[in-house]
Amino acid sequence: MRTLVADILTWPSFSERFGYDFNGFFVRRPDGNLVIDPVEPTPEDLELLVREGVARILITNRNHFRAAARVREATGARVAVHAADAAFVREKGVTVDDALVGGERVGPFVVVPAAGKSPGEVALHWADKRILIVGDACVGNPPGRLGLLPAAVIDAPEELRQSLRRLAAELVFDTLLLADGECILRGGRSALQALVATFDSP
């Protein structure tokens, strides 16, 4: 694992299909450590999670169940996902313990609805540290810029664009941590605004 910002670490799993890393996040918290969108951990990464402890696993969208079952089994963490995506996650063999609800706080994060890629997509906003964590709503590709996943895997493209417009306009953040592609540690909001600006281009 490597440290991205204070108290947030990441570990990658390279996607041959997409040509960039998928990222899991580990957030150290005195009130209970969090794992977000866990990708398959190496033995060393899993050992760290077990040693430090994980209270909750947060899944930002249905497809990011990834290695949640393995991390849950190893650490005893509770799994949370939005109710609209929970059935899909359960069908993949992951026990879902809790629901992520828009506007509610989980540790330092406020759950922000970001539907479109899937109906239960959420982002996680840590206002005090000006951090936004995004699952599949947008991706860090090419590095330093943002794009969208292929249209074929997006349930509701216009709803997704509206979600991203809202995130860019209403949330204050600088660091944008992306579960797919390369994270943007500075200028994340500007990068999202630049992506949103392309939506209305001819």
Token pair 């579960």 in the structure block, residue: 179
Q: Whole-angstrom Cα distance, residue 79 to residue 72?
A: 7
Domain extents for the chain?
2-199
Q: In terms of Cα–Cα distance, which of 167, 183, 185 is closest to 175?
A: 185
Instruction: Give residue-wise pLDDT tens across range 144-181.
Output: 999 999 999 999 999 999 999 999 999 999 999 999 99
Summarize the confidence of residues 5-30 as an average pLDDT: 96
Burial class (CB in 10 A: 0-12, 13-18, 19+), 66: buried
User: What pLDDT is stored for residue 201 in this prediction?
Assistant: 62
Specify the pTM: 0.96
For residue 180, give the DSSP letter. B
DSSP at 164: H
pLDDT above 90: percentage of residues in the chain: 97
Q: How far apart are CA 135 and CA 148, in angstroms?
A: 11
Rounded Cα distance between 153 and 107, Å, is 30
Mean pLDDT of 96-124: 98
φ/ψ (deg, to 5) at 74: -75, -30
Mean residue pLDDT across the chain? 97
CA-atom Rg of the chain in angstroms: 16
Encode burial over 67-93: b for 16+ CB neighbours within 10 A, e otherwise.
bbbebbeebebbbbbbebbbebbeeee
Rounded Cα–Cα distance for residues 121 and 74 (Å):
26
Residue with tokens 């497809």: 63
Query: pLDDT digits over 37-71, tens only?
Result: 999 999 999 999 999 999 999 999 999 999 999 99
CB 86 within 8 A of CB 68: no
pLDDT computed for residue 200 by the predictor: 79
Q: How far apart are CA 163 and CA 115, in angstroms?
A: 6
What is the CA 26 to chain-centroid distance, rounded? 11
| Range 66-88 average pLDDT | 98
Strand order in the sheet with 20-27: 2-5, 8-15, 20-27, 34-36, 56-59, 78-81, 98-99
pLDDT bracket for residue 202 (50, 70, 90): low
- Look up the CATH number of domain 2-199: 3.60.15.10
